[in-house]
Copies of this chain bind each other. A is one copy, B any other.
Amino acid sequence: MDEDGNLQISNSNYNGEEEGEDPENNTLNQPLLKRHRTLSSTPLALVGAKVSHIESLDYEINENDLFKHDWRSRSKAQVFQYIFLKWTLACLVGLFTGLIATLINLAVENIAGYKLLAVGYYIAQDRFWTGLMVFTGANLGLTLVATVLVVYFAPTAAGPGIPEIKAYLNGIDTPNMFGFTTMMVKIVGSIGAVAAGLDLGKEGPLVHIGSCIASLLGQGGPDNHRIKWRWLRYFNNDRDRRDLITCGSASGVCAAFRSPVGGVLFALEEVATWWRSALLWRTFFSTAVVVVVLRAFIEICNSGKCGLFGSGGLIMFDVSHVEVRYHAADIIPVTLIGVFGGILGSLYNHLLHKVLRLYNLINQKGKIHKVLLSLGVSLLHQLLFGLPFLANEACDPTIDEICPTNGRSGNFKQFNCPNGYYNDLSTLLLTTNDDAVRKHFLFKHSYEFGMVSLWIFFGLYCILGLITFGIATPSGLFLPIILMGSAYGRMLGTAMGSYTNIDQGLYAVLGAASLMAGSMRMTVSLCVIFLELTNNLLLLPITMFVLLIAKTVGDSFNLSIYEIILHLKGLPFLEANPEPWMRNLTVGELNDAKPPVVTLNGVEKVANIVDVLRNTTHNAFPVLDGADQNTGTELHGLILRAHLVKVLKKRWFLNEKRRTEEWEVREKFTPVELAEREDNFDDVAITSSEMQLYVDLHPLTNTTPYTVVQSMSVAKALVLFRSVGLRHLLVVPKIQASGMSPVIGILTRQDLRAYNILQAFPHLDKHKSGKAR
């Protein structure tokens, strides 16, 4: 009946009990009960092995007597405190995200820089093998640090974190996702993995870090050392945390691409499920703060105080020098970029899905396997990156620039070539990933990079992009895709030759955009991010065109990469659009396939409450009045499991069966206590004499749960559930007659998911085709 109930139902005795009572109903139930096999039997390494108990968040306001009193008694000053704090927190989220992004960039550029300088030093001395050893050793060491931290301290820090944030904002509370440890591991691990030259980015992790900062600020610090500040109590609810985390994710994107509007649109388009106009402005405020912080650091670093960190470092992919020239005839190559981008992107999604399933099997075997897998992947990187060490003859004469650029950051590397020559492959490979992208985007000469080198680069990064993402380190998807895409664009540009006027740098930009659209299926936010990177409005129409084609092509093959990961992790994400066949099923029919609802009386015996808590795992129970009388049964509302546990813990028992006064409950409970999520019932010992006492559930009951009539179609129920952000939806009967219960069921997130419904009603599947969008 409840999401948690379903998760654990196959282990508890509840299922067995049910069978005895209602054997006929249960045959229908069976598929519905089995529906969590995916999640419980194959927890992906990406989420971490600890995942067992995913709760839904509650974005609805719990209107019980206590809440109403608290609401009525809020003074103007308290409302002001609340508003002021909301804005302050939004500002702080931006500030910290900006600072940490700068820190990560500084660390990566310096670590990777000194590593590459050392290698260059040995190469220049013709000590190739020493160079290779130093290179390999440093990279393996950095990978080891990142992996060990993730595997042993915070498994949830693996991967990009964006799918989990998306799930959180949809109402799914993945455990340990936004904790302090996760954040610290994510920061350090990200630095290690990126500095090790692995084919993964820091963009996704930055979004996760931004969200962690938001969550930690909202709750007043790490779980064990929270600040008990009075003002923060207003934020002790899922709604306000959700808003803050939205700000955090937008800040993260902004910090990654230095794109404030793009960050806001990313949060709006890709991450957020609910959105309000007021939130738009607050999110934008956060991202603007990030930009101010980044700009301040750029000023500081321009004066050379950041070590090897150049002025360009904070502008991730500085494409502002790309020359944008195009004419009507260029529509053909641009269309080609889009079509191939879409095909490649969906192919990448498809293959990555397979690789992740394989990695999942390996990672399940234990922690040491995870570490070994990471090291293996890192070693493969080193072997492949060793290519330029072998390709001695791949030397080209230098071009106009003071070249080759040894011992400093620059476009052309001499590597093992004679003076006056440069090695184009090593120029692309022996550098940080960010630099490689920059080199692709920056066009100087058509013969800058040879076609063979580009093919090698592209092939290499296709392989690396597939095998790297699933390992147990923080890893972003943006950068691998941008690397592949820019190489592919540049290749296409070179192949086009003199046919077009578009320069090859622009080809690289469009190639990266098309592959991102083909894989991630983002559109507006991507377009704006590229717009803000290039600062050139002329790029807009052509980028849009490419993105539109690539997304359309990609959508005709498979789902976006984030959706694939969400499915793989078994997170119960609710889609925006109901499936067409959901119109042919009523919630009444859906409800009939479930065990009957467990209800409580308004004034209930303690023994009954204990019984219900022990024997079910539901998170909410409808409260009925007058069920034992003949005047008709009244639906009073819905009470949360957490509040029942709280009542038992506080022993708020009555000697007689009576309604309490408002002051009685106010004396015993505070709104802050009731906002806490606590349903650990094991340590509550109730004596047998207490079992005979009564509890008045009325004051703690949410009197205004949302309801649907049983004839409502599942499609519309889903729209309601998602639009309003519910956790429980009551089903009421369509017939008025005596002796009937005023509530016939509860629907939760799990019951409304297409996959679960199809398990119970397989015949609906034939209508699956023809989904309009």
- By a beta-carbon cutoff of 8 Å, the part of chain A in contact with chain B is 60-61, 63, 68, 71-72, 74-76, 79, 82-83, 260-261, 264-265, 268-269, 275-278, 280-281, 284-285, 288, 291-292, 295, 523-524, 527-528, 531-532, 535, 537, 540-541, 544, 548, 576, 580, 583-584, 586, 626, 631-637, 703-704, 706-709, 711-713, 716, 719-720, 723-724, 732-742, 767, 769-773
Contact = CB atoms under 8 A, between A and B. Distances in A.
Contact of A770 (B63, B74, B723): B74
B737 A736 contact: yes
Contact of A734 (B584, B742, B769): B742
Given A83-B772, A528-B261, A633 B735 contact: yes
Given A709-B732, A724-B719, A737 B541 contact: no
Contact of A79 (B295, B704, B716, B772): B772
A524 B285 CA distance: 9
A71 B583 contact: yes
Nearest to A538: B295
A706 B711 contact: no
B709 A635 contact: yes
Contacts of A291: 537, 540-541
A597 to B, nearest CB: 14
A625 to B, nearest CB: 9
A280 B724 CA distance: 20
Contacts of A704: 586, 711-713, 716
Contacts of A537: 291, 532, 535
A285 B531 CA distance: 15
Contacts of A292: 541
Contacts of A632: 735-738, 740
Given A527-B284, A724-B723, A63 B738 contact: no
A452 B113 CA distance: 60
Contacts of A523: 280-281, 284
A72 B768 CA distance: 11
Contacts of A634: 734-736
A773 B63 contact: no
B583 A68 contact: yes
Given A736-B733, A736-B736, A79 B280 contact: no
Contacts of A268: 268, 277, 280
B738 A736 contact: yes
Contacts of A261: 261, 265, 528, 531
A544 B742 contact: no
Contacts of A278: 576, 773
Contact of A277 (B576, B633, B770): B576
A269 B280 contact: yes
Nearest to A737: B632
Nearest to A722: B723
9 contacts: A63-B713, A76-B769, A278-B576, A280-B524, A291-B537, A535-B535, A632-B738, A635-B735, A706-B712
A343 to B, nearest CB: 20
Given A74-B772, A720-B720, 6 more contacts: A63-B713, A277-B576, A291-B541, A626-B735, A633-B735, A706-B720
A576 B280 CA distance: 14
A736 B633 contact: yes
Contacts of A703: 711, 713
B734 A724 contact: no
A258 to B, nearest CB: 8
Contacts of A633: 735-737
A583 B63 contact: yes
A739 B736 CA distance: 8
Contacts of A265: 261, 280
A680 B583 CA distance: 31
Give the interface centre of A292, A711, A720 by most chain B CB atoms within 10 Å.
A711
Contacts of A83: 772-773
A559 B284 CA distance: 22
Contacts of A708: 706-707
Contacts of A531: 261
A261 B261 CA distance: 9
A291 B288 CA distance: 26
Contacts of A60: 716
Contacts of A68: 583-584
B737 A631 contact: yes
A741 to B, nearest CB: 7
Given A281-B524, A704-B713, A708-B707, A76 B770 contact: yes
